[in-house]
A and B are shown apart, each in its own frame.
Chain A
Amino acid sequence: MSESLSSATQPAEEVTTARAIEHRAGRIGLDLLDRWAGPLLLVAMIVAFTIASPGVFLTSSNLLAVVNNQTITAVVALGLLFPLAAGVFDISIGGVLTLSVITSAWTFQQTAGSMPVPLAILITLAVGATAGLVNALLVVRLSIDPFIVTLGSGSIFLGVSQLVANGQVVSRDIPTAFTDLGRGELFGIPNPIVLVVVLALIVFYVLEMTPLGRMFYATGFGREQSRLAGVPTNRILVLAFVISGFCASLAGLVYTSRIGTGQPDVGAQYLLPSYAAAFLGSTMIKPGRFNVPGQLVGLAILAIGINGLQLQGIPFWVISTFQGGALILAVVLTKLRKLSVRADG
């Protein structure tokens, strides 16, 4: 009985294998397109703008300025990858960034510039990490929706910043030793860019090349399932918020040291592009996952798109529209991709 069964299934199996191979060949082509469509788009944009704005767009000064302008967003966005990978939103990053800008400027102002720079940096980073810890404890201990927690706490961090700054720009006694960090160069490359490169490498390493990174993704794809499989999901969530707060405050330091003043309302503008870059990034290189290379390409698409359009003399309101449009487009692409995976099964 079992023999006749197995011989009966033999040809059918061959057919399915043949189909599977054919099918897989088709899929590999699709997979490649799926992964590299984003980078291709970036290249296409660069080519298009080079032709459209000859001698202006593709110059080292323009490109360096574009990249340098993105460093603050990049630092925030790299930190944001951790909560997103773990499946939670952190929208307090704008508030944390503002709080850090004010904290660093204020510590110098309070001490009439005598505060040692490394100590000021440490204090600021500690404030950012603590803000993340507060978010984490509210989410993990009290099981409150992360979106709501960070929506509220972000507003509180902003309020505290305004209180500390007394509603004004904090700019007295910020030492040049501090602003040199933000304005200086290393081998001809602006320091903030060096920081972004180092940070990107570290984040890439943690997410892609450590078990910890795998546990972030597992928590994001199925928190309860991962917990039952033995992943310490609560610890992962705490870590995600702390890292995100830490990076937001690192971005705040970049801001203060470049601009040289602390404005109590700077953070909000970095929230949307960070999310737009992260979600765009999750549609490429490793589709379906928030990943560092994808995010950097996403950032570049946003920055170059806006820069190229501005060089064409396109008005100011384009920036917000472009970023918002990119965010929604990215989410739509993700949705379509999920549908196609399901249809495949």
Chain B
Amino acid sequence: MQAAKLWLSRIHELPLRESVAVMNVCGGHEHSLSMLGLRAVLPKMVRLIPGPGCPVCVCPEEDIADSIALALHGGVTLVAFGDMLRVPMNAPKGEIKTLAGARAAGADVRPISSPQEAVAIARAQPERQVVFFVAGFETTTAPVAAMLAEGVPDNLSVLLAARLTWPAVDMLLQDKDSALDALIAPGHVATVMGAEEWRFVADTYHLPVAVAGFSAVSLLAALYSVLRQKLENRPFLDNCYAELVQPQGNAKARRWLDEVMEVGPANWRGIGIIPASGFFLRGAWKRYDARQRFDVLAAPRRRIGEMPPGCDCAAVVLGKLTPEQCRLYGKACTPMHPVGPCMVSDEGACHIWWQAGLRAA
């Protein structure tokens, strides 16, 4: 912690003259810095804005609806990373809204924490179809690609809602109204894809950018870097997580992604279609696509793909509102009864702020 305190004192010594808005892209960063209580010890002029890096938050509503329909009516075992069980879809009152609700109604829905578990569950019951509902960014998608490349039983398929991180940031920065001054780039994503993926922030948008890890030291070093870049008007790509992040990332993981996945336009919940932002199974791998294997998909319904009424998750994901500015925060929407997806996951800004004790006024 001594090193972290040193970075903090260096930040305080910077002659900041105006407010600086720094977006931390990754939900893991938001979690770490909220749990460290970092906002309270930084200079008032530094504003940390949580960004779009929460895969649970941006997973399309229609994908959640499809997963619930499959679990309820497909005669399958549906496995998913734990958080996805609690994300609500738009369903009329009294109807099943979440995978957890489907499980309570008798569907075989199981939370898992790794692709290996999905394979083990499929191997253990060869007579039954197992569907792996995958929402995640590059960090999650690479192990899923590896799982498929290494061979999976025929009774396993994937319902993919996997996304690339940088296109969402690119879209944010294209926005003329964007008031962002600097970017902390996601450490885990950069571990897989490489720090170089974030060079566009400095080159195209002339904004300071630094890749950070999840410790106080790494986060504060990255923050110091972007603040100093901003002060000196000298934006470049810095890497403050060099112990793990290579310029080109993890070659093996990227090879797996290239082999199994292709990239195309994809929908982000509450945000819309972002070009070249979704992973899809490529060529022969399409036979593992649950959408091709099953025709049990969600029936048409009202508010398809939309955020729940009154929910500001989309604005929170885009950094345009902070969680406590949403009317539902802490009132209709709490971790026990989440309305919007940002209140569900450990990477969702609303859930993190609530866990860090921040209550609506």
- Please determine whether chains A and B interact with each other in the same assembly: no
Which residue numbers of B lie inside 8 Å of A, CB to CB?
none
